[in-house]
Amino acid sequence: MKLTADAKGVFPIAPTPFFDDGAVDRASIDRMMDFYQSCGATGLTVLGQLGEAPKLDFTESLEIASQVIGKAGGMPIVVGVSAPGFASMRSLTRAVMDLGAAGVMIAPPNTLRTDDQIVTYYHQAVDAIGDDVPFVLQDYPLTFSVQMAPSVIRRIVTDLASCVMLKHEDWPGLEKISALRRFEAEGAMRHISILCGNNGLFLDYEMARGADGANTGYCFPDMLCDFVKWMGEGKTEAAHDLFDAHLPLLRYEQQPGVGLAVRKYVMMRRGILSSAAQRRPGGALTPAAKAEVDHLLTRLGKHDPRAKNLV
Amino acid sequence: MKLTADAKGVFPIAPTPFFDDGAVDRASIDRMMDFYQSCGATGLTVLGQLGEAPKLDFTESLEIASQVIGKAGGMPIVVGVSAPGFASMRSLTRAVMDLGAAGVMIAPPNTLRTDDQIVTYYHQAVDAIGDDVPFVLQDYPLTFSVQMAPSVIRRIVTDLASCVMLKHEDWPGLEKISALRRFEAEGAMRHISILCGNNGLFLDYEMARGADGANTGYCFPDMLCDFVKWMGEGKTEAAHDLFDAHLPLLRYEQQPGVGLAVRKYVMMRRGILSSAAQRRPGGALTPAAKAEVDHLLTRLGKHDPRAKNLV
Amino acid sequence: MKLTADAKGVFPIAPTPFFDDGAVDRASIDRMMDFYQSCGATGLTVLGQLGEAPKLDFTESLEIASQVIGKAGGMPIVVGVSAPGFASMRSLTRAVMDLGAAGVMIAPPNTLRTDDQIVTYYHQAVDAIGDDVPFVLQDYPLTFSVQMAPSVIRRIVTDLASCVMLKHEDWPGLEKISALRRFEAEGAMRHISILCGNNGLFLDYEMARGADGANTGYCFPDMLCDFVKWMGEGKTEAAHDLFDAHLPLLRYEQQPGVGLAVRKYVMMRRGILSSAAQRRPGGALTPAAKAEVDHLLTRLGKHDPRAKNLV
Amino acid sequence: MKLTADAKGVFPIAPTPFFDDGAVDRASIDRMMDFYQSCGATGLTVLGQLGEAPKLDFTESLEIASQVIGKAGGMPIVVGVSAPGFASMRSLTRAVMDLGAAGVMIAPPNTLRTDDQIVTYYHQAVDAIGDDVPFVLQDYPLTFSVQMAPSVIRRIVTDLASCVMLKHEDWPGLEKISALRRFEAEGAMRHISILCGNNGLFLDYEMARGADGANTGYCFPDMLCDFVKWMGEGKTEAAHDLFDAHLPLLRYEQQPGVGLAVRKYVMMRRGILSSAAQRRPGGALTPAAKAEVDHLLTRLGKHDPRAKNLV
């Protein structure tokens, strides 16, 4: 089952669980996979930037992808294959597709500047991985320093049939979704799936702009799933109420650099991960930060029972 | 009355009101000044980055500063004097101090990289403006691409007695406040005022880390004033409730690029500005964005009556 | 006399002469103007980045432009008007055009990334200064961090009739000249003048690629004039011999940051400037660096008598 | 034999030879190794940025390192191990040290800004690779966007005993060498080897500032060896004459992006490589560029017979 342009719903970005000594924690991966399925996730992305992919060597990457795919239970699994060179990107892509991945995600290298450079890069990436592999275009200027105008995304989508999804995390980004959907409405671009990242910080308005859901790692993916579902069912204000209750924590987790430490800490308190450890370089939460997250969870617990009675 | 290291409370960042044709709207400046005083603001900053300072020529800058200082009603007025060169910085500083400004704010040019380059720049700036002029150090890496480690801020504070305040808008930034206050507690740095920017996105936890208040332009400065006051009075949970009610709008306004359009639009709807116009280059809100802001205000109105019955 | 797309030859970039105390040295400006005319310069650019324009306030900028234009002796004078905002850009442009400038030069702000952002910026700049003012497009990615693809330059040239010249200083840049001249040959772009900057580091091959000459500040503009003239006369190898004799010094002067100190030092030793002083921030040459420049001049003197018997 | 702080002379940066189809050309590696030894190189660096290291997968990297080490003939071999994460860096380091490498070279990731961030990164890198592995600190701001003040290099050298060499390619960089050697003279920093990169563009003055030689890939490493040797023997002006004769070509090859195409093309014309091919992304020389390089070689041939009679 390969990823298609019809993908919808929530594809969580899975963190990579580690023990305190830095070894991969395979039991936590199993628990995490059960958890994502119980949330109502419609797919899953592994080995992304916040999956600490660059901190894994090739063998570890394959083992994690293999375990996740084995536990997918029907969810399409997207694997991050961004790499400094096309040889590594191809090796990893070929290996994970053989294992049963549904597609791959490719972020642009931070040296790209002009429109042509960006389009050319994706042409070369597709030449490297093969045009039979569906890929997700990651548009995340804050982290990658690459700015893709809507017209550039259109060129990539038009030129490369294997581009089936946009991981949208430009900031600000609402108008970009509108622009892309306008292209489609005008017949100027074929349809692709747009799932939103950026920890979901603007998901409350991105859906109405035309997004198909979320593709991000917020520590309550079950909330993201509810939100997307309720918006689809027309329960707009209830969905906003739920989202707003989570926003203080969600915003705290969205901080660059420390966000992953927050995410892992909450996932540990929720009983999913056995440790909040990151591989180096990676920040641990200070006692003050932990107290802030605990305070945020306590306040959230008044609105969402899933934030109560954590370990 | 000059700015000192004891400054506390809320110093709003004032926008510059324009008519639709780009001319400065002096009547709106008067209304805005009355409004800030009615909010309980303890000071005010004009001609900052989001005051569209770079879009004004020298004469206009002076006229605006003069009008604001004339209507200050006892509030200390800080004037942004960041400039591509020291000659312009000195000219503007000297002129506004003569008009009665309490101090100036200086952002680093985006070419600075190493610790020494940053410290040297502020030495030269003080040489240019004179060491009798109190200045605010603006630490805003997202916009200026200059990263100041806590130890660099300490060097600037230690070397330059006229540095009395930090406009703190690093992101993430909570640990930086703690680090600076720890320096003070250890006797390793003299006390300075720390007021927080970044549209107040983390003000709810910055106060407890040791910040003295806010120095930012969120369209409900009255909320910021209440929040800071209540935190000072120990009404912590009530303060958080108020903050959280505003967070969806506050986060929306914090978006780079479009944020100022949101701010001016809401200040127009609140009856403070006669127009939401910006000088070019500057974005106007699309109809979709206006509808989103209206929706955010409607939802906010359920918790804060100040968001109701807007024009 | 306004600048046109037929400009050819050498437009030196004039430094701004200062006394050691930072005051503008008007007598050196006069000497410098006489010198440029004696070199065979066909035009002149003032108030560029290396003219220390950002270190001048508005009044000083006008006085310098006025003096230079008064001493132009028939040379078209281009004035750098790059500014952080359009109000200042318009004020300076209008003032210098009234004084008799032939055109203005506009560099892009370093926040521009996408093709559309760059093109839009120049549209807005022309709206600000008026479409009756000929302008030079400065393409200098190393300093401004803005990368303009050839197709972007073509869009600007096509959209904006007042764009008459490219100050070409991309690096590497030879293929860009070829690409632009190919557009012209194919009828896909109207002709513009291309003068090369970057201290002339690749002028030896830029001419054959289609450049019309140089627009840079190397301390021997007389060499640049000879080189361009000889290439035009078919004395190719003699021209290369002359260029190569200068290359060790030229490359040394091309260093970012310290280059201007080298340039002013040599122009002082050539009797043109009374001082090598720069306004702050600006580096002075260390004794070791001075000795290196002296050594370079001594070696150059064996091939070019103009480098001999300096003061 | 491990790399020490006493390293001197010329350590060429070896390109990775490919066939036109992108496969590694092992016969050219053997020829290249013979050539470097015949030049008088005192060491060699492989798998650097311009060795196209990011375009190789792990297996290929090891095979190339193994072949080079096997043909080293007594030269210490430094292997570039820069990687987006420490797991890959450690894996490659351990493998090449087992194969007999003399040390490794580590470039900073382009996200580092403050002094502390840079120092911390190298601490973590040494934790990852082991403090028994000598490493070369690569200081190349133009490519990596990381600026290391001399005091930062001193902190790294002082904290980390396994830092034995600086690959110096800051630009401008002469004063940095002087600053570091001054630290040593004052007893404020232990001695390390400083070998210069940046294609040797300032090697003519770097030696006198205190550099120990070159660590760069210019297509005439035999010239670099002669230059360093002659400077050591006091044949200063002859050394400069030789250097200046090469400077036009050397400067042409130093262009970012296209430089490697020039280098490989000349090495092919010298009979060392069988093809000038690069893996993608990588530029090929246009016919115009080839003609320029041929012209530069012809002119060089008048001064240096090694540039004559090429294939």
pLDDT in tens, chain A (311 residues): 899 999 999 999 999 999 999 999 999 999 999 999 999 999 999 999 899 999 998 999 999 999 999 999 999 999 999 998 999 999 999 999 999 999 999 999 999 999 999 999 999 999 999 999 999 999 999 999 999 999 999 999 999 999 999 999 999 999 999 999 999 999 999 999 999 999 999 999 999 999 999 999 999 999 999 999 999 999 999 999 999 999 999 999 999 989 999 999 999 999 999 999 999 888 789 999 999 999 999 999 999 999 998 98
**pLDDT above 90: residue C311:** no
Q: What is the pTM of this model?
A: 0.95
Distance of alpha carbon C149 from alpha carbon C189, whole angstroms: 14
Per CB-CB distance under 8 Å, the chain A contacts of B299 are 240, 244
Q: How far apart are CA A53 and CA D6, in angstroms?
A: 38
How high is the ipTM of this complex?
0.97
What's the confidence (pLDDT) of residue B271? 97
Q: What whole-number distance in Å separates Cα of residue A245 and Cα of residue C123?
A: 44
Cβ proximity of C177 and C213 under 8 Å:
no
Asked if A123 is an interface residue toward chain D (Cβ–Cβ < 8 A), one would say no
Q: Which residues of A touch D54 (CB under 8 A)?
A: 83-85, 88
Contact with chain A for residue C119, Cβ under 8 A? no
Q: In this structure, are residues A19 and A275 in contact, taking their beta carbons and an 8 Å threshold?
A: yes
pLDDT at position B94 over 90: yes
Q: How far apart are CA C236 and CA C232, in angstroms?
A: 8
Instruction: State how far residue C187 is from chain B, nearest Cα, in angstroms.
Output: 33
Chain D residues with CB under 8 Å of C289 CB are: 174-175
Residue pLDDT, tens place only, C55-80: 998 999 999 999 999 999 999 999 99
A-chain residues within 8 Å CB-CB of D52? 85
Q: What angle separates helix A221-232 from helix A26-39, to the nearest 10 degrees?
A: 20
For Cα atoms A188, A192, A198, give the angle at the middle one, nearest 5 degrees.
115
Q: Which of B112, B115, B151, B156 to mutate to test the interface with D (most CBs of D within 10 A)?
A: B115
* pLDDT tens profile C222-249: 999 999 999 999 999 999 999 999 999 9
β-partners of residue B13 are: B45
pLDDT tens digits, one per residue of D168-214: 999 999 999 999 999 999 999 999 999 999 999 999 999 999 999 99
* Interface contacts A/C by beta carbons within 8 Å: 24
- A-contacting chains (≥3 CB pairs under 8 Å): B, C, D
- Which pair of structure tokens corresponds to residue B147? 């990263």
How near does any CA of chain A get to the CA of C116, in Å?
8
Q: Reading across the β-sheet that carries A193-196, which strands appear in turn?
A: A9-10, A213-214, A193-196, A163-168, A135-139, A103-106, A77-80, A44-46
pLDDT at C34 over 90: yes
Alpha-carbon distance of C142 to C104, in angstroms, equals: 21
| A36 contacts A292 by C-beta, under 8 angstroms | no
Min distance D281 CA to chain C CA atoms (Å): 16
pLDDT in tens, D273-300: 999 999 988 888 999 999 999 999 999 9
Of the candidates A116, A151, A152, which has its C-beta nearest C151's C-beta? A116
Interface test with C, best of B58, B90, B146 (most C CBs within 10 A): B58
CA distance A33 to A44: 9
Instruction: Quote the radius of gyration of chain C (alpha carbons, Å).
Output: 18
SS3 B85: coil
CA distance linking residue B100 with residue D80, whole number of Å: 59
Q: How far apart are CA B42 and CA C239, in angstroms?
A: 69
Contact assessment for residue C122 and residue C82, using Cβ atoms and an 8 Å cutoff: no
CB contact under 8 A, B172 and A251: no
**Phi and psi torsions of B136, nearest 5°:** -105, 130
> Would you call D214 helix, strand, or coil by DSSP?
strand
Cβ-contact D223, D242 below 8 angstroms: yes
A161, A192 contact by CB (below 8 A):
no
At B111-124, the pLDDT tens digits run 999 999 999 999 99
| Average pLDDT of the segment spanning B76-93 | 95
CB neighbours of B40 closer than 8 A, spacing ≥ 6?
B9, B10, B222, B225, B226, B229
What single DSSP character describes residue C131?
T
State yes or no: pLDDT of B283 exceeds 90.
no
- Beta-bridged to residue D167, according to DSSP, are D138, D195
Distance CA B231, CA B207 (A): 8
Burial (Cβ within 10 Å: 0-12, 13-18, ≥19) of residue A120: middle
Peptide bond into A84 cis (omega under 30): no
Q: How far is CA B22 from CA B299, C29, C114, C150, in A?
A: 32, 38, 26, 34
Strand partners, A44: A77
Q: For B125-157, write each residue's pLDDT tens digit.
A: 999 999 999 999 999 999 999 999 999 999 999
Q: Give contacts of A201 with chain B, Cβ < 8 Å.
A: 251
Residues of C in contact with A113 (CB under 8 A): 113, 147
Whose CA is closest to B14, among B57, B59, B72? B72
Task: Pick the residue of D18, D47, D49, D55 with the most A CBs within 10 A to test the interface with A by mutation.
Answer: D55
Type of residue at B128: A
Q: Residue D118's pLDDT is what?
A: 98
Distance CA B205, CA A292 (A): 7
CA of D286 to nearest chain A CA: how many angstroms apart?
A: 18
Which residue of C110, C112, C115 is the best one to mutate when testing the A interface, meaning the one whose CB has the most A CBs within 10 A? C115
Give the mean pLDDT of chain B.
97
> CB of B16 within 8 A of CB of B274?
no
Note the pLDDT of residue C24.
Answer: 97
CB atoms within 10 A of CB A13: 25
Contact D255, D235 (CB under 8 A): no
Calculate what percentage of chain C has a pLDDT beyond 90: 95
Averaged pLDDT for residues D219-247: 98
Residues of chain D positioned with their CB less than 8 A from the CB of A120: 281
Q: Does C59 touch chain A (CB under 8 A)?
A: no
CB of A114 within 8 Å of a chain D CB? The answer is: no
Contact C244 D247 (CB under 8 A): yes
Residue in C91, C280, C281 nearest the CB of B57? C91
Residues of B in contact with C85 (CB under 8 A): 52-56, 279
Residue B79, pLDDT score: 98
Q: Can you give the pLDDT at residue B89?
A: 96
